[in-house]
Chain A
Amino acid sequence: MTTQFPSLSPEQKKELSNIAQKIVAPGKGILAADESTGTMAKRLQKINVENTEENRRSFRDLLFSAVDPNCIGGIIFFHETLYQKSDNGVPFPKVIKDKGIVVGIKVDKGTAALNGTDGETTTQGLDGLSERCAQYKKDGCDFAKWRCVLKISDSCPSALSIAENANVLARYASICQQNGLVPIVEPEILPDGDHDLLRTQYVTEKVLAATYKALNDHHVYLEGTLLKPNMVTAGHSCTKKFSPQEVAMATVTALRRTVPAAVPGVTFLSGGQSEEEATQNLNAMNQTALHRPWKLSFSFGRALQASALAAWQGKAANKKAAQDAFTSRAKSNGLASKGEYKSTAGADKASMQSLHTANYVY
Chain B
Amino acid sequence: MTHQVPALTTSQKKELQETALRIVTPGKGILAADESVGSMGKRLNQIGVENTEENRRQFRQVLFRADDRINSCIGGVIFFHETLYQQADDGTSFVKMIKDKNIAVGIKVDKGVVPLAGTNGESTTQGLDGLLERCAQYKKDGANFAKWRCVFKIGDTTPSTLSIQENANVLARYSSICQQHGIVPIVEPEILPDGDHDLRRCQYVTEKVLAALYKAMSDHHVYLEGTLLKPNMVTPGHSCSTKYSAEEVAMATVTALRRTVPPAVSGVTFLSGGQSEEEASVHLNAINNCPLVKPWALTFSYGRALQASALKTWRGHKENENVATEQFIKRAEVNSLACQGKYTGGGYSESDQIYVANHAY
Interface residues of chain A, those whose CB is within 8 Å of chain B, are: 1-4, 152-159, 162, 198-199, 202-203, 205-206, 209-210, 212-213, 216-217, 222, 253, 255-262, 291-293
Contact check: which of A1, A157, A213, A258 meets B1 at CB < 8 Å? A157
Q: Contacts A152-B2, A198-B4 given: A260-B215 contact, CB under 8 Å?
A: no
6 pairs of A and B residues whose beta carbons are closest in the complex: A209-B218, A216-B211, A202-B4, A213-B215, A4-B204, A256-B264
User: What 1/0 mask marks residues of chain B from 185 to 203 whose CB sits below 8 Å from any chain A CB?
Assistant: 0000000000000001100
* CB contact list, B1-26 vs A, under 8 A: 1-4
A203–B218 Cα distance when bound, in Å, is 11
Chain B residues within an 8 Å CB radius of A216: 207-208, 211, 259-260
**Stretch from B31-39, B84-92, B152-160, B299-307 contacting the other chain:** B152-160
- Within 8 Å CB of B1, what residues of A? 157-159, 162, 206
A261, B295: Cβ atoms closer than 8 Å: yes
Q: How many A-B residue pairs have CB under 8 A?
A: 94
Q: How far is the CA of A206 from the CA of B156 in the complex (A)?
A: 33
Verify B164–A260 contact, CB threshold 8 A: no
Residues in A whose Cβ lies below 8 Å from that of B161? 1
B315 within 8 A of A: no
Task: Tell me which residues across on chain B come within 8 A of A291, comparing CB atoms.
Answer: 263, 295
Chain B: minimal CB distance from A183 (Å): 16
Complex-state Cα separation, A216 to B2, whole angstroms: 23
Q: Nearest Cβ in chain A — how far from B196, in angstroms? A: 14
**Residues of A contacting B158 with CB < 8 Å?**
2
B263 touches A155 (CB 8 A): no
Least Cβ–Cβ distance between B244 and chain A, in angstroms: 17
- Among B259-274, those with CB < 8 Å from A are 259-264
> Nearest Cβ in chain A — how far from B208, in angstroms?
6
Rounded to whole angstroms, the CA-CA distance of A122 and B201 in the bound complex is: 34
Known: A198-B4, A216-B260, A262-B258. 8 other contacts (CB 8 A): A2-B154, A199-B4, A255-B263, A257-B224, A260-B258, A260-B259, A261-B263, A262-B259
Q: Give the shortest distance, in Å, between B167 (CB) and chain A (any CB).
A: 13
A205 cross-chain contacts in B, Cβ below 8 A: 218
**Chain B residue with Cβ nearest A202:** B4
Note all chain B residues with C-beta closer than 8 A to A259. 262-263
**B150 proximity list for chain A (CB < 8 A):** none
Whether the pair A209, B214 counts as a contact (CB closer than 8 A) is yes
How many Å from the CB of B233 to the closest CB on chain A? 17
Contact A155 B208 (CB under 8 A): no
Contacts of A261 in B (CB 8 A): 257-258, 261, 263, 293-295
Interchain CB contact (< 8 A) of B261 among A162, A213, A222, A260: A260
Q: Which residues of the partner chain B approach A222 to less than 8 Å between Cβ atoms?
A: 259
A165 to chain B, nearest CB (A): 13
Complex Cα distance A212/B218, Å?
A: 11
- Contact status A2-B205, CB under 8 Å: yes
Residue of A nearest to B201 (CB): A4
Residues of A within 8 A of B264 (CB): 253, 256-257
Contact B295 A155 (CB under 8 A): no
A157–B207 CB distance below 8 A = no
What CA separation (Å) do A154 and B2 show in the bound complex? Answer: 7
Residue with the greatest number of chain B CB neighbours at <10 A, chosen from A217, A253, A261: A261
Tell which of A156, A199, A213, A293 touches B263, judged by Cβ atoms closer than 8 Å.
A293
Any A CB within 8 A of the CB of B255:
yes
| Chain A residues within 8 Å of B219, by CB | 209
Residues of B within 8 A of A209 (CB): 214-215, 218-219
Complex interface bits, B217-238 against A, C-beta within 8 A gives 1, otherwise 0: 0110000100000000000000
Q: Give Cα distance in the complex from A153 to B2, angstroms.
A: 8
Residue in A154, A158, A258 whose beta carbon sits within 8 Å of that of B262 in the complex: A258
B159 is contacted by which of A1, A157, A199, A260 (Cβ under 8 Å)? A1
In the complex, chain B residues whose CB is within 8 Å of the CB of A210: 215
Q: How far is the CA of A254 from the CA of B160 in the complex (A)?
A: 31
A286 to B211, CA, bound (A): 27
Please, which residue of chain A has its CB at the minimum distance from the CB of B1? A159
Give CA–CA (A1, B258) in the complex, Å.
20
